[in-house]
């Protein structure tokens, strides 16, 4: 057994905060090694250290049996390490091949040799089974394909050890399966893979070894085969977490949100919604299932006033809100957790407090006579940090200094406490750890029991089964069918998600 | 916190680098950089009169810088401050010589005219930017040339002082902006500029409207999602920026020249934009960067008298500073992870 990587007693501090403490990590070569841990446990930090993006305060890095110092990513790349970050860094206006060779262009006579770059990209794509069209512009490609390009970039730089930070958080289950196929291909060719994930099933399925980080320390490194999923949960959060459907009493009241024959287009001007109708009652959670990209996100955007509809009606508590601005819809009592938290949900450079203030800056007691009450803001932010268990140094920490899952919690904390009677939640727990998922689900149930009408969009079926009173399945911009949350037949949902109607029935579901 | 420190440190380093290059340029004309520096400092701060002279040059740069800050914070680029200044200066002068009114009222009306002229001059670019997202950089720059030509046309063809050069009649004393000291033309404009800097700083850091506008500048998608009316705020911010630009013209006309003439204010608007950029859109920081440019300008007056270097050397140094600072900002942006929400005005 030879070690591809050995981290010895790595400690990394940010100011007085210890993100990694005395971490030892041994990664066998030719294996898939998973790293799991709660949000803020220090997973990304540790990988950034390994990739030369951060310098450890203490400790040593050994690669292929040799001690290395990695002052920058270039040194890590030279040592054969490649990293696919959680947030992609592609240039939309360039082609796939140009992106793959960005910064290391193949040149001929001083000019970029496009033909060679395209040929090389096609070769790599074929060798590793990562299907892309080298000539296509990146701008309009799906996240799944963007990720393939990121992986190709890493391969083109000759990486033999590949780090992937939460690669599946943005993928559909189908895309995830394809990714795992690719990763297995890598180890079959003798390469080593390290990947971070919050999906424990995936970890169980694909990894050979797993390491658990907790509060910056490595609490366990074992062969995956020796562990069960609940062992992993125990190690991660130190207690048992249930994955069962949450118990509930029927609370559904009158129809709060009503959608009738809604149509809209996406950013490419293609029809994204084609006549969607449904209703959500007060005290009810309606789940939207479906493979990503079937109109779910557009639906949330239209309902929250961020995207115009081309036809149809939306009513909130009996009042028409079709075509109102985001501001007016917010004022009418609709909270929205957007699908892409980094683009819409937060200002990364602003503090947690400033992020919490958004949308309520004109309201008393947050401000009086147009002047922000900073004491109150500080105090409330502190309360929300506690209530939502946001792991941060304090209200003044910038959003970007937080771990991915904790950024999501800022958005939830803000939107769940905004008053109002309706919530649109797009991917409630994307990138959130198991323990925090349980908390967030509990919080969503409390909102339900308080009488809010809640629409939850998720690509994770088990999340919807846990939460939803009713599940609507979307495909190609329409609602294919409805299933009661307590009698879920996964096969039936699977067929609906693929656009197949199990038995003859009408295409849309009338407003309840 | 450390971000802010980094940016300050980087900026300072860039300026030092530019000054170093400037020293090399000075060496090529066979002059001693040290002597040029001493002369510059002496010219800018060597006596109370010279200090007042420096502050006199600083005032319009500061006010123009504040105008620029207002737009930068919102992620917008009002580069038309020079034009707003010309318009403001002309119409303040017009009120100043066309009417004979009681002192305080006259001054107030003339100032109001300057402010309105500035707002009117940016109204069209502001409307098109807010409604159709027409690039405001281009439209405001173009508006500069139109403003300079229109005011000069009006001066020469309609309001020329009989027997004089291309300049208007002087304004009545009732419209003068009072001077601060007997030995200099330094006037209340400086106080206005400092007060504006403080007010704008307060606005952006403490008020809910200021918060909304800063967030619009930092991440427009986040602001839109949060319910901020982007079109309306964009229009209002540009109008406010134009108002302050106009005010700068009013201060120059009513405080310094007491008339309007061709070449009324050489490049104060542009210097203001650069001062604001150097200060990263921070109004308090702009006080100091404006002072820096004011000192360069007034110090350079002595340069041709006492050394063999020409005053143009100052323009060279300024250009070097702009280059070094923009290079520095670009490098810092590349180094930091710049996904969504990067402040646009950080360049
Ligand atoms: N640049 C920074 N400055 C200050 N604190 C930081 C910085 N980067 C990370 N941290 C802190 O270090 C801790 C670990 O962050 P890290 O991103 O490694 O977590 P993670 O395990 O990847 O979590 P997640 O699963 O949510 O992505 C967090 O509490 C975070 O707030
Ligand atoms: Mg992370």
Q: How far is CA B74 from CA A289, B233, B273, B329, in A?
A: 39, 9, 14, 18
Residue B318 CA to residue B22 CA, distance in Å, equals 9
pLDDT digits (tens, 9 = 90+) for A426-471: 999 888 888 888 888 999 999 999 999 999 999 888 899 999 999 9
Q: Find chain A residues with C-beta within 8 A of B219's C-beta.
A: 346-348
Residue A506 has pLDDT above 90, yes or no: no
Angstroms from B75 CA to nearest CA on chain A: 14
Residue A40 Cβ < 6 Å to ligand 1? yes
pLDDT in tens, A215-239: 999 999 999 999 998 899 888 888 8
CB of B285 within 8 A of CB of B279?
yes
How confident is the model over A255-268, as a mean pLDDT? 92
The rounded Å distance from CA B325 to ligand 2 centre is 33
CB of A435 closer than 6 A to ligand 1?
A: no
B5 touches chain A (CB under 8 A): no
Residue B343 contacts A, CB cutoff 8 Å: yes
Question: Which residue blocks in A364-507 are alpha helix, DSSP H?
Answer: 374-387, 404-416, 434-449, 461-467, 490-497
B182 touches chain A (CB under 8 A): no
Of all helices (H) and strands (E), which one includes residue A281? strand A271-281
Overall average pLDDT of the A322-341 stretch: 91
Residues linked to residue A374 through DSSP beta bridges, in sequence order:
none
Q: Give one DSSP letter per residue of B9-56, joined into a string.
A: HHHHHHHHHHHHHHHHHHHHTT--HHHHHHHHHHHHHSSHHHHHHHHH
Residue range A309-322: average pLDDT? 94
| Closest to B64 (Cα-Cα) out of B193, B163, B170 | B193
Architecture of domain B8-336: Orthogonal Bundle (1.10)
Q: Cβ A349–B343 below 8 Å, yes or no?
A: yes
Average pLDDT over residues A305-319: 94
Mark yes or no for CB contact A370/B207 under 8 Å. yes
Q: pTM of this prediction?
A: 0.82
pLDDT band with cut points at 50, 70 and 90 for residue A504: low
**Confidence band of A511 (pLDDT split at 50, 70, 90):** very low
Residue with tokens 């309902």: A303
Q: Could you give the CA distance from residue A268 to residue A265 in angstroms, rounded to a whole number? A: 8
Q: Do domains A3-237 and A255-507 have the same CATH topology?
A: yes
Query: Averaged over A129-134, what is the pLDDT?
Result: 88
DSSP-assigned beta bridge partners for residue A315 = A258, A320
The DSSP 8-state label assigned to residue B226 in this structure reads T
Q: H helices within A110-199, ranges in order?
A: 114-127, 143-156, 173-188
Query: Where does residue B101 fall: left (phi above 0), alpha (psi -120 to 50 degrees), or beta otherwise?
Result: beta
Peptide bond into A29 cis (omega under 30): no
Q: Are B278 and B290 in contact (CB under 8 A)?
A: no
Percent of chain A exceeding pLDDT 90 equals: 63
Is B20 near chain A, with CB under 8 Å?
A: no
The mean per-residue pLDDT over the stretch A188-199 comes to 93
d(CA B241, CA B236): 9
The CA distance from B302 to B311, in Å, is 9
For residue B104, the SS3 value is: helix
3-state secondary structure of B200: helix
Closest CA relative to residue B241, chosen from B102, B111, B80: B80
Domain ranges of chain B: 8-336
Give the pLDDT mean for A366-376: 95
For residue B4, what are its two tokens? Answer: 């802010």
Tokens of A152: 């190709």
Q: What is the per-residue pLDDT for B163?
A: 75
Instruction: Write the class of the CATH domain A3-237.
Output: alpha beta
CA of A352 to the centre of ligand 1 (A): 14
Which residues in chain A have their CB less than 8 angstroms from residue B229's CB? 325, 327
The pairing of strands A3-14 and A111-112 is: unpaired
**Residue A265: enclosing H or E segment and its boundaries?**
strand A255-265
Antiparallel, parallel or unpaired: β A3-14 and A32-37: unpaired
Crossing angle of the two packed helices B283-306 and B312-335, in degrees rounded to 10: 150
Instruction: Decide if B69 contacts B289 (C-beta within 8 A).
Output: no
- CA distances to A91, A338, A339 from A430, rounded to whole Å, are 24, 11, 8
| Nearest-neighbour CA in chain A from B231: distance (Å) | 12
| B305 inside 8 A of chain A by CB | no
Domain extents in chain A: 3-237, 255-507
d(CA B335, CA B340): 15
- Tokens for A311, please give them: 């036809």
Report the pLDDT value the prediction gives residue B3, as an integer from 0 to 100.
Answer: 52
Query: What are A90-129's pLDDT values in tens digits?
Result: 888 889 999 999 888 888 888 888 899 999 999 999 888 8
Predicted confidence at residue B334, as pLDDT, reads 55
Q: Whose CA is nearest to atom 1 of ligand 1?
A: A401
User: What's the pLDDT tens digit per position in A120-131?
Assistant: 999 999 888 888
Phi then psi dihedrals of residue B13, to 5 deg: -60, -45
Residue ranges of chain B whose pLDDT lies below 50: 1-2, 336-347
Q: Reading across the β-sheet that carries A470-475, which strands appear in turn?
A: A334-337, A422-426, A453-457, A284-289, A470-475, A478-484
Beta-carbon contacts of residue B63 (< 8 Å; ≥ 6 apart): B189, B192, B193, B196, B244, B247, B248, B251, B272
Could you tell me how far CA B97 lies from the centroid of its own chain?
26
A23 contacts A213 by C-beta, under 8 angstroms: yes
CB < 8 Å to A306, chain B: 224-225
The answer to whether the beta carbons of residues A163 and A47 sit under 8 Å apart is yes
Domain A255-507 of CATH type 3.40.80.10: no
pLDDT at B2: 46
Q: Enter the tokens of residue B114.
A: 């300057």
């Amino acid at each position: 057994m030879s070690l591809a990587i050995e981290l010895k007693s790595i400690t990394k501090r940010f100011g007085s905060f210890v993100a990694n403490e005395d971490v030892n990590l041994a990664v066998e070569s030719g294996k898939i090694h998973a790293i799991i841990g709660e949000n803020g446990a220090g997973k990304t930090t540790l990988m950034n250290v390994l990739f030369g993006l951060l310098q450890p305060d203490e400790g040593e890095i050994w690669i292929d049996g040799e001690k290395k110092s990695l002052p920058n990513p270039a040194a890590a790349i030279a040592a054969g390490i490649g990293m696919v970050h959680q947030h992609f860094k592609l240039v939309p206006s360039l082609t796939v091949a140009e992106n793959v060779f960005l910064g290391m262009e193949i040149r001929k006579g001083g000019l970029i040799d496009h033909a060679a770059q395209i040929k090389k990209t096609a070769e790599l794509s074929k060798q590793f089974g990562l299907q892309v069209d080298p000539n296509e512009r990146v701008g309009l490609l799906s996240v799944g394909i963007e990720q393939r390009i990121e992986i190709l970039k890493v391969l083109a730089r000759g990486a033999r050890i590949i780090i992937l930070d939460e690669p599946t958080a943005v993928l559909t289950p189908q895309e995830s399966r394809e990714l795992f196929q690719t990763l297995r291909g890598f180890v079959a060719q003798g390469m080593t893979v390290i990947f971070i994930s919050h999906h424990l099933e995936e970890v169980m399925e694909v990894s050979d070894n797993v390491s658990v980080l907790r509060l910056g320390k490595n609490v366990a490194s074992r062969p995956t085969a020796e562990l069960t999923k609940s062992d992993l949960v125990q190690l991660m959060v130190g207690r048992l977490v249930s994955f069962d459907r949450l118990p509930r009493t029927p609370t559904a009241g009158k129809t709060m949100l009503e959608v009738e024959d809604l149509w809209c287009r996406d950013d490419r001007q293609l029809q994204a919604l084609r006549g969607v109708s449904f209703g959500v009652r007060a005290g009810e959670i309606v789940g939207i299932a479906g493979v990503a990209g079937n109109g779910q996100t557009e639906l949330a955007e239209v309902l929250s006033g961020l995207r115009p509809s081309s036809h149809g009606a939306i009513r909130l508590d009996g009042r028409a809100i079709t075509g109102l601005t985001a501001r007016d819809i917010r004022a009418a009592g609709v909270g929205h957790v957007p699908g892409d938290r980094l683009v819409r949900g937060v200002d990364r450079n602003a503090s947690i407090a400033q992020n919490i203030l958004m949308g309520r800056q004109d309201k008393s007691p947050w401000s009086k006579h147009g002047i922000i009450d900073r004491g109150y803001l500080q105090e409330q932010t502190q309360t929300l940090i506690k209530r939502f268990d946001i792991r941060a140094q304090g209200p003044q920490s910038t959003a970007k200094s937080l771990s991915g899952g904790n950024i999501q919690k800022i958005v939830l904390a803000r939107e769940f406490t905004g008053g109002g009677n309706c919530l649109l939640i797009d991917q409630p727990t994307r990138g959130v750890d198991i323990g925090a998922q349980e908390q967030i689900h509990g919080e969503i149930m409390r909102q339900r029991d308080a009488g809010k009408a809640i629409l939850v969009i998720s690509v994770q079926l088990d999340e919807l089964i846990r939460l939803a009173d009713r599940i609507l399945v979307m495909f190609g911009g329409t609602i294919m069918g409805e299933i009661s949350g307590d009698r879920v037949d996964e096969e039936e949902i699977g067929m609906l998600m693929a656009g197949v109607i199990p038995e003859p029935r009408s295409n849309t579901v009338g407003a309840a | 916190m450390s971000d802010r420190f980094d940016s300050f440190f980087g900026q300072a380093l860039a300026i030092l680098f530019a000054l170093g290059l400037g020293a090399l340029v000075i060496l090529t004309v066979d002059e001693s950089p040290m002597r040029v520096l001493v002369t510059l400092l002496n010219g800018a701060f060597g006596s109370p009169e010279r200090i007042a002279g420096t502050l006199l040059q600083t005032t319009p740069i500061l006010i123009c810088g504040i105008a620029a800050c207002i737009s930068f914070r919102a992620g917008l680029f009002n580069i038309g401050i020079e034009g707003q200044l010309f318009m403001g200066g002309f119409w303040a002068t017009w009120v100043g010589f066309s009417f004979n009114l009681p002192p305080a009222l006259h001054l107030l009306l003339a100032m109001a005219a300057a402010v309105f002229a500035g707002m009117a001059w940016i109204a069209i670019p502001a409307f098109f930017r807010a409604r159709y997202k027409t690039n405001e950089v281009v439209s405001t720059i173009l508006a500069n040339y139109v403003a300079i030509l229109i005011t000069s046309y009006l001066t020469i063809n309609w309001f020329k002082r009989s027997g004089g050069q291309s300049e208007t009649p002087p304004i009545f004393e009732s419209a003068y902006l009072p001077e601060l000291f007997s030995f200099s033309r330094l006037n209340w404009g400086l106080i206005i500029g400092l007060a504006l800097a403080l007010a704008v700083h307060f606005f952006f850091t403490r008020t809910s409207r200021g918060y909304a506008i800063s967030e619009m500048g930092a991440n427009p998608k986040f602001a839109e999602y949060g319910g901020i009316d982007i079109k309306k705020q964009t229009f209002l911010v540009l109008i406010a920026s134009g108002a302050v630009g106009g005010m700068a013209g009013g201060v120059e006309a009513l405080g310094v020249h007491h008339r309007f003439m061709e070449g009324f204010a050489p490049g104060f608007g542009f210097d203001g934009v650069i001062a604001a950029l150097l200060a990263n859109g921070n109004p308090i920081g702009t006080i100091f960067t404006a002072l820096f440019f004011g000192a360069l300008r007034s110090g350079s007056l002595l340069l041709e008298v006492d050394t063999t270097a020409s005053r143009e050397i100052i323009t060279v140094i300024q250009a070097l500073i702009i280059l070094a600072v923009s290079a520095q900002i670009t490098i810092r942006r590349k180094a930091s992870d710049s996904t969504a929400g990067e402040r646009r005005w950080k360049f």
